[in-house]
Amino acid sequence: MFKKSNAFLLTFALICGIGFAKSNVYASVIKTNGAHTKSNLLNFNVNDVLAQSTGVTNALAKVPGYSNPLITQKFGADPFAMVYNGRVYVYMSSDAFEYDNRGNIINNDYSNIKTISVISSDDMVNWTDNGEIPVAGPNGAAKWATNSWAPSVTHKVINGRDKFFLYFANNAGSIGVLTADSPVGPWIDPLGKPMITGSTPGVNGVAWLFDPAVLVDDDGTGYLYFGGGIPGGNNPSQGQIANPKTARVMKLNGDMIHTTGSAATIDSPFMFEDSGIHKYNGKYYYSYCSNFSGNHPNGTPPQGDIAYMTSNSPMGPFTYKGTFLKNPGTYFGVGGNNHHAVFQFNNQWYVVYHAQTLGKAMGITKGYRSPMINKVSYSPNGLMNNVIEDMQGVAQVANLNPYKRTEAETIGWNGGISTQKCTAPGSMVSSNNLDVTSINNGDWLAVSKADFGSGAASFKANVASTVGGKIEIHLDSADGQLIGTLNVSPTGGEQQWKEMQCNVKSVSGVHNIFFKFTGNSSKNLFNFDYWQFSANGTNPTNPTTDPTTNPTPGSTVTLNNGWYYIKNVNAQKYLQVASNTGKARQNVELGSGSGAAGQKWYLTNTEDGYVTLKSALGNYMLDVSYGENKDGSNIQIFNAYSGDSQKFSVKASSKNGQYSVATKSSNGSKVLDDYNFGTADGTNVCQWTYGGNNNQMWVFEPTNN
């Protein structure tokens, strides 16, 4: 990895929606020893080129309060969004600086992209860096592939379990598929060869065999859209430019890794690349990037815009309707190719696309792209309205919970840091974890809108260091109120991990949190894995006494379908939705019996032997946050969809009428738990490994209505 060099003063104009703001920043230049080799072209850190701001609240490209671009610690192109279990996952081609033999940054030619970058968020502003998927080449899952461009990802229940499918372009010559058991991997190549090639039925005539987009329809059938380019070589006719007929759609087999039948042609006017697909109000919307060639008369898509067509069938025929997303050059002053994906999250439609916004802020507009998001809307007749692309982006849809483990690489805004693979176990998948690194004096990162509730009293972080430093915790800006300082002492190595803790001044309500890093060494001060606050001076771990044996929940019992109040035996208080408010991700806690709707739960026995618990506040079910399988995972309500995170087993105990409630997301090893044996109103409810104690026992009282 290249290191930061001496800095020079540079003034950037940061484009921020309407108008602009200027701020003086220090920008580093890269000095290299000798020529770059193919093996290190991807070994790139954005912050080796950008430098720290003279005022740490001045961020590059993505400024505090705004949400675009989604990330600035690295680039990401050709974004595709998948929603799973209350979280948006964005998969991207891993753009990274390329250099000539003198160390100068050159135009991006995409030839070295062999990994897929993944980020995810449940609030649309704070994005977790989930790392890179090794796809192509000898170190990748698909060793036959040369490149991995333009991913498209979906999930489907296969043999009773959620399975994930990642489709990618091997340059412009074929399309491959990887599979996994989680959105972040690990990924394998189930075929050991391309899924779609030039010999696939119906593919003949496609100039560029790339840019897949996948749709799983309501009946579970999968379809793959792909293709692009203009026939006619270097001298295409106007007819070939206007109607390339190089887009295809193909039905997938039930296993999602084989095709069925022959590909159908989509006659998309002025087709260039970037197939997209979504379904809205029963109609299928095929979208694509228009080409840059020939004459585009009125009524056809302008050059480099995202156009769309609609159909009553996923296989077409599709009818051209217009455009809805301009080329990024229209709004950001720097153009290039266009790539997008339309998706729905929490009942709102969005489009994720790329633009050279980070590159522009760095003064390097050579084709290195960053992911952006804006809202999508529709007219009453189903036509798509033009999207307003801007740096302000979208509003945060949920507050961050600071009392849960939060990955340090969950970032709203930052300055000077980067991320890397980490040896400590991950929170989603133990084998997949990153940490924040390249931490020098004055660097910082921040998260948006953390809800401290009634008060926090302590803070802990998992860190690793050879030299040590400090984490200053500020509210609302990097120079805002200092509520605590964690002294990070050396741990014996940069992957030798240790939890450290400090007290904080009492803080309540919703705040942005800025972590400012300080230290005397010029080396990397420390690596930062995760952090967590706790309330009332308690440690953020449940003090349930560990049993000398390993008890297991009793046998499953069957209760009648119907409405219940659910009372915790230890607290003698009822399971309730916080603030009696029905909305996705609303917390679940304990409260004194009131008969309110937030304390009523409709129990339904499912065909696979579990139960769901639907709130009387609306179409929301009791839910394990993120479907996690770990102690302390929060319990909430979320939009009802009867997935694994919303299924439970009622288990018998030694006392008649008292039950534990095991979570399917933990395979029955963890149960609903009265956190810290709390007895006060508002005590949190989480899942915890079964111990047989009263704080894990519940009484189901029929509401009789």
The region of weakest confidence among 2-6, 131-135, 522-526, 539-543 is: 2-6
Q: Which residues are catalytic?
A: 78, 273
CATH number at residue 666: 2.80.10.50
Residue 478 lies in a domain: yes
Residue 584 and residue 501 share a domain: no
Range with lowest mean pLDDT among 225-234, 534-543, 606-615: 534-543
Residue-wise pLDDT for 320-367, tens only, equals 999 999 999 999 999 999 999 999 999 999 999 999 999 999 999 999
| Residue whose C-alpha is closest to residue 358's, from 326, 325, 328 | 328
In whole angstroms, give the CA distance from residue 196 to residue 668: 40
Domain span at residue 95 reads 7-375
pLDDT of 176 strictly over 80: yes
pLDDT at residue number 21: 29
SS3 of 133-150: the string is EECECCCCCECCCCCCEE
Q: Is the pLDDT of residue 562 over 60?
A: yes
- 464 and 365 fall within a common domain: no
**How far is 488 from 459, CA to CA, in rounded Å?**
13
- Cβ neighbours of residue 548 closer than 8 Å, sequence gap 6 or more: none
**pLDDT tens for residues 447-501?**
999 999 888 999 999 999 999 999 999 999 999 999 999 999 999 999 999 999 9
The structure tokens 């799983």 sit at 216
Distance CA 437, CA 415 (A): 12
Do 145 and 289 belong to one domain? yes
Nearest residue to 120 via CA among 131, 109, 128, 112: 128
Confidence of residue 58 (pLDDT cuts 50, 70, 90): low
Which of 47-56, 233-242, 302-311, 631-640 is least confident? 47-56
- Could you tell me the pLDDT band of residue 293, with boundaries at 50, 70 and 90? very high
Pairs from 495-499 (Cβ < 8 Å, separation ≥ 24): 495/422, 495/423, 495/424, 495/464, 495/527, 496/464, 497/423, 497/424, 497/462, 497/463, 497/464, 497/529, 498/462, 498/463, 498/464, 499/460, 499/461, 499/462, 499/463
For residue 307, the model assigns a pLDDT of 99
Q: Is there a single domain that holds both residue 147 and residue 267?
A: yes
Residue 535 pLDDT: 82
Q: Average pLDDT in the 132-150 region?
A: 98
**19: Cβ–Cβ under 8 A, 6 or more apart, which residues?**
none
Quick one: 508 and 625 in the same domain?
Answer: no
d(CA 339, CA 150): 9
275 three-state secondary structure: strand
The domain boundary, picked from 332, 355, 375, lies at 375
Q: Please report, for residues 4, 69, 409, 443, 527, the alpha-carbon distance to residue 59 in angstroms, rounded to integers and kept in the order given.
A: 17, 11, 16, 11, 21
Question: Which pairs from 298-301 meet CB under 8 Å and 24+ separation?
Answer: 300/242, 300/269, 300/270, 301/269, 301/270
Residue from 279, 283, 262, 265 nearest 227 by CA = 265
CA-CA distance, 125 to 373, in Å (whole number)? 10
Domain count, the chain: 3
Q: Are residues 511 and 617 in the same domain?
A: no
Residue 557 placed within a domain: no
Per the model's pLDDT, the better-predicted residue between 31 and 455 turns out to be 455
Residue 398 lies in a domain: no
On the question of a cis peptide bond just before residue 317, with omega within 30 degrees of 0, the verdict is yes
35 has pLDDT over 50: no
pLDDT given for residue 277 in this prediction: 99
Give the residue from 534, 552, 583 where a domain finishes.
534
**Domain assignment of residue 384, yes or no:** no
Q: Which residue has the tokens 């050279």?
A: 356
Matching residue, tokens 């890397």: 420
Query: Does residue 416 share a domain with residue 300?
Result: no
Q: Are residues 424 and 359 in the same domain?
A: no
Domain membership flag for residue 496: yes
Are 45 and 146 within one domain?
A: yes
Q: Specify whether the backbone of 281 is left (phi greater than 0), alpha (psi in -120 to 50) or beta.
A: left
Contact of 353 with 93, CB cutoff 8 Å: no
- Count of all residues that appear for the chain in the document: 705
Structure confidence at residue 626 (pLDDT): 82
In a domain, 604, yes or no: yes
CA geometry: angle at 650 spanning 644 and 655, to 5°?
A: 155
pLDDT band at 59 (very low <50, low <70, confident <90, very high): confident
Is residue 60, in this structure, part of any structural domain at all? Answer: yes
Question: What are the φ/ψ torsions at residue 103 (nearest 5 degrees)?
Answer: 85, 10
Q: What is the per-residue pLDDT across 392-405, written as a single tens digit (0 to 9) for each? A: 999 999 999 999 89
pLDDT band per the 50, 70, 90 thresholds, residue 145: very high
Question: Of 356, 375, 394, which residue is a domain's last?
Answer: 375
Please indicate, yes or no, whether residues 181 and 326 belong to a single structural domain of this protein. Answer: yes
So what's the pLDDT on residue 429?
81
Q: What is the pLDDT of residues 595-634, one digit of tens each?
A: 999 999 999 999 999 999 999 999 999 999 888 888 889 9
Top pLDDT among 224 and 585 is at 224
Element (H, E) at 273: strand 271-280
Residues 493 and 360 in one domain: no
Is residue 528 in some structural domain? yes
- CA distance to 126, 405, 447, per residue, from 410 (Å): 6, 11, 7
Please check whether residue 177 is in contact with residue 164, taking contact to mean a CB–CB distance below 8 angstroms.
Answer: no
DSSP notation for 172-195:
TTEEEEEEESSTT---B-SSSS-S
The string of pLDDT tens digits covering residues 107-128 is 999 999 999 999 999 999 999 9
Question: What six digits make up the tokens of 498?
Answer: 């240790």
The helix (run of H) or strand (run of E) holding residue 359 is: helix 357-362
**Rounded (to 5) percent helix, strand, coil in the chain:** 5, 45, 50
CA distance 300 to 268: 10
**In this structure, are 599 and 500 located in the same domain?**
no
The yes-or-no verdict on residue 536 having pLDDT over 70 is no
